[in-house]
Amino acid sequence: MAFWFMENHTDNVVMSIKVKEQVYSEQSEYQRIDIFESEEFGRVLALDGIINLTEKDEFIYHEMITHVPMAVHPNPEHVLVVGAGDGGALRELGKYQSVQHIDLVEIDAALVAACRKYLPTTAIGYQDERVTVHNRDGLRFLRRLEDVYDLIIVDSTDPAGPGEILFTKEFYGSCYKALKQDGIMVNQHESPFYSYESAAMMRSYRRIRSAFPVLRVYQAHIPSYPSGHWLFGFASKKYDPLKDFDEKRWLAQGIQTRYYNTDLHRGTFCLPTYVRALLESE
Amino acid sequence: MAFWFMENHTDNVVMSIKVKEQVYSEQSEYQRIDIFESEEFGRVLALDGIINLTEKDEFIYHEMITHVPMAVHPNPEHVLVVGAGDGGALRELGKYQSVQHIDLVEIDAALVAACRKYLPTTAIGYQDERVTVHNRDGLRFLRRLEDVYDLIIVDSTDPAGPGEILFTKEFYGSCYKALKQDGIMVNQHESPFYSYESAAMMRSYRRIRSAFPVLRVYQAHIPSYPSGHWLFGFASKKYDPLKDFDEKRWLAQGIQTRYYNTDLHRGTFCLPTYVRALLESE
């Protein structure tokens, strides 16, 4: 007997993962939260039936959403992470001595509790004393803030359910306002390959570009996500992710990574022609 | 009622694609050949139950296995393609005026015939008058050749069935011998993520490195392949894929591509830390 978790990547493509054991399942106020143990991916977190992370490949996502902007900003001290109840981005941020304070805004307290209990290798990020957790709506949290953060990481789910608001023009405008004059915002930017994600990618791109003077998209291989081809958006008021990237400064900090490296930092912004064309059509 | 094609990416991970219509199925002398029509990927070619190509994403594979070496070699005139009965690599090579002659060695004549009939957008490569098709074993074809080719493209299946011989030390040695003194060999180099492909990747890397002085691995996003993270090996007697890459020369040829571009050429060699570590451990 075996259980299989099945996720529709499109109506016509399904990814199935063999389940060893169901670990946790809850309908929170905001979403259905499931955690299960699998042979291939270790523990898997699914939100509303969509894989949010797996223990096997979450390092790719969390390193790429964190180290790319952290290697560009010359002195990131105050960081906001929106979404990301799992704590993986906190774990990566915790590797930097320059960081003085991290606000984590995650609307769903039940998700934070479940991750702290059942996903210890990502939730270890919560143990950092510099972290303050706010179980609030991201947009409301940001609305009245001005000139506060050096970096905002928008670690959202897909633009459906509780993550939808994190893809709006108003939200990106509030991020812009809450950033200091040389601030950076990075978001998970969906995927170019299947139509659902590529439509979300193009909307996100268009809206961020209307709020920020600098926007560059970069990519990574994340096998547990639809198509495995995932994008991130690097938006900033001032810094260019390549011209202002200081390789020596990053290397001097001695940070250990399994996916990110300074060579890959340059390569990750080199997008396929069809992805460029989609973005340029916006 | 619906048919689903299901491929085990590992014993514990399955990718399923909804089938509109079965187009062709045959047990040839060498392998089981299936072609079906799907909603998401267009026509799909499966060999022994493993996806070899889909109409939706084959451009990624074929552009990357062809244009990367073609943009490095200063004057590629004589090219050998081993495997690749579908004709996709021939189609990409056909875009170069410098090419005088292409030998295509594919052991399975039934595969060539099926692709010519049912996969016209890749098999269009066969219409090039510079192509000679040899339905022979790749190693036997190469054995007595010396100093003949500028480029050899090893477009093999996984190292099982008829493709197995194309991963041997003897085969790589024969390629070396058959290349001119500044020749390049490129191969499909499997994937770093799941254990079956990463073991094949490391074996291939080790064996090619013992035959060629230059070996660099590069990567692409190929959604229909296991994990979506696929690698290629660039081996050569002399040329470095970055130092000897002449962007202006390539751009001057006005070649149209949907994935490859000269920016991506540089980015594709920037590998994740864990992939570097796997290769360096060899």
Rounded to 10 degrees, the C-alpha dihedral B230/A242/B255/B219 comes to: -10
CA distance A34 to B26: 43
Q: Within an 8 Å CB–CB cutoff, is residue A54 touching chain B?
A: no
Please list, in sequence order, all residues whose beta carbon lies within 8 angstroms of the beta carbon of residue A279, skipping any fewer than 6 positions away: A201, A202, A205, A217, A271
Could you tell me if the ipTM is greater than 0.90? yes
Task: Say if residue B121 is in the same domain as residue B69.
Answer: yes
Asked if residue A114 has pLDDT above 80, the reply is yes
What CATH code is carried by the domain that includes residue A176? 3.40.50.150
Asked if residue B1 has pLDDT above 80, the reply is no
What CATH code is carried by the domain that includes residue B24? 2.30.140.10
Q: Within an 8 Å CB–CB cutoff, is residue A193 touching chain B?
A: yes
The pLDDT assigned to A50 comes to 95
Confidence tier at A196 by pLDDT (50, 70, 90) = very high
> What is the 3-state secondary structure of A195-244?
HHHHHHHHHHHHHHHHHCCEEEEEEEECCCCHHHEEEEEEEECCCCCCCC
Task: Say if residue A49 is in the same domain as residue A63.
Answer: no
pLDDT tens digits, residue range A228-269? 999 999 999 999 999 999 999 999 999 999 999 999 999 999
CA distance A62 to A92: 7
Q: Within an 8 Å CB–CB cutoff, is residue A3 touching chain B?
A: no
Asked if residue B157 has pLDDT above 90, the reply is no
- Among A12-16, A81-85, A92-96, A180-184, the minimum mean pLDDT is found in A81-85
Q: Tally the domains of chain A.
A: 2
How would DSSP label each residue in chain A? --EEEEEEEETTEEEEEEEEEEEEEEE-SS-EEEEEEETTTEEEEEETTEEEEETTTHHHHHHHHHHHHHTTSSS--EEEEEE-TT-HHHHHHTT-TT--EEEEE-S-HHHHHHHHHH-HHHHGGGG-TTEEEE-S-HHHHHTT--S-EEEEEEE---SSGGGGGGGSHHHHHHHHHHEEEEEEEEEE---SSSHHHHHHHHHHHHHHHHH-SEEEEEEEE-TTSGGGEEEEEEEESS--TTTT--HHHHHHTT---SS--HHHHHHTT---HHHHHHHHT-
Residue A213 near residue A240, CB atoms below 8 Å: no
The β-bridge partners of B89 are none
Confidence tier at A214 by pLDDT (50, 70, 90) = very high
Task: Say if residue A80 is in the same domain as residue A101.
Answer: yes
Confidence tier at B202 by pLDDT (50, 70, 90) = very high
**Residue B16 to chain A, least CA–CA distance (Å):** 5
Domain boundary pick from A16, A31, A53 = A53
Task: Say if residue A23 is in the same domain as residue A132.
Answer: no
The pLDDT assigned to B105 comes to 96
CA distance B127 to A86: 54
% of chain A residues with pLDDT over 90: 93
Which amino acid, one-letter code, is at B61?
Answer: Y
Asked if residue B160 has pLDDT above 90, the reply is no
Range of the domain at B222: 58-280
| Mean of pLDDT over chain B | 96
Task: Say if residue B84 is in the same domain as residue B137.
Answer: yes
Q: Within an 8 Å CB–CB cutoff, is residue A223 touching chain B?
A: yes
> What is the 3-state secondary structure of B179-204?
EEEEEEEEEECCCCCCHHHHHHHHHH
The pLDDT assigned to A157 comes to 83
**Residue B132 to chain A, least CA–CA distance (Å):** 31
How large is the greatest C-alpha to C-alpha distance in chain B, in angstroms? Answer: 58
pLDDT tens digits, residue range A142-177? 998 999 999 999 998 888 877 788 889 999 999 999
Confidence tier at B187 by pLDDT (50, 70, 90) = very high
Domain boundary pick from B37, B54, B71 = B54
Average of pLDDT values for A120-125?
96
Asked if residue A124 has pLDDT above 90, the reply is yes
CA distance A85 to B20: 40
The pLDDT assigned to A162 comes to 74
All residues of chain A having their beta carbon less than 8 Å from the beta carbon of residue B268 are 267, 270
Confidence tier at B159 by pLDDT (50, 70, 90) = confident
CA distance B55 to B35: 11
Task: Say if residue A83 is in the same domain as residue A205.
Answer: yes
* Residue positions of B annotated with a catalytic role: 155
The two tokens of residue B140 are: 């036997």
| pTM of the predicted structure, to 2 decimals | 0.97
Task: Say if residue A32 is in the same domain as residue A139.
Answer: no
Task: Say if residue A142 is in the same domain as residue A193.
Answer: yes
Q: Within an 8 Å CB–CB cutoff, is residue A249 touching chain B?
A: no
All residues of chain A having their beta carbon less than 8 Å from the beta carbon of residue B42 are none
The β-bridge partners of B54 are B44
Residue B101 near residue B127, CB atoms below 8 Å: no
Task: Say if residue A27 is in the same domain as residue A102.
Answer: no
- Which of B17, B193, B258 is opposite residue A13, by nearest beta carbon? B17
Is residue B266 helix, strand or coil? helix
Confidence tier at A69 by pLDDT (50, 70, 90) = very high
Average of pLDDT values for A12-37?
97
**Residue A68 to chain B, least CA–CA distance (Å):** 13
Tell the residue number behind the tokens 């002085």, with chain if given.
Answer: B213
A70-95 in b/e burial notation, b at 16+ Cβ within 10 A?
Answer: bbbbeebebbbbbbbbbbbbbbbbbb
Average of pLDDT values for B90-94?
98
The pLDDT assigned to A164 comes to 84
The pLDDT assigned to A61 comes to 98
Nearest CA-CA partner of B257 in B28, B71, B111:
B71
Between chain A and chain B, the number of residue pairs with CB atoms below 8 A apart is 126
A interface mutation test: which of B273, B280, B281 has the most A CBs within 10 A? B273
CA distance B241 to B215: 9
Task: Say if residue B113 is in the same domain as residue B180.
Answer: yes
Task: Say if residue B236 is in the same domain as residue B157.
Answer: yes
Average of pLDDT values for B95-123?
97
Residue B147 CB coordination number (10 Å)? 10
- Among A17-21, A57-61, A155-159, B5-9, the minimum mean pLDDT is found in A155-159
pLDDT tens digits, residue range A41-55? 999 999 999 999 999
The two tokens of residue A209 are: 């570009």
Task: Say if residue A40 is in the same domain as residue A114.
Answer: no
Asked if residue A39 has pLDDT above 80, the reply is yes
- Among A92-106, B160-174, B215-229, the minimum mean pLDDT is found in B160-174
Q: Which position among A155, A158, A182, A240 bears the catalytic label?
A: A155
**In this structure, what are the phi and psi dihedrals at residue A170, rounded to the nearest 5 degrees?**
-65, -40
The pLDDT assigned to A102 comes to 98
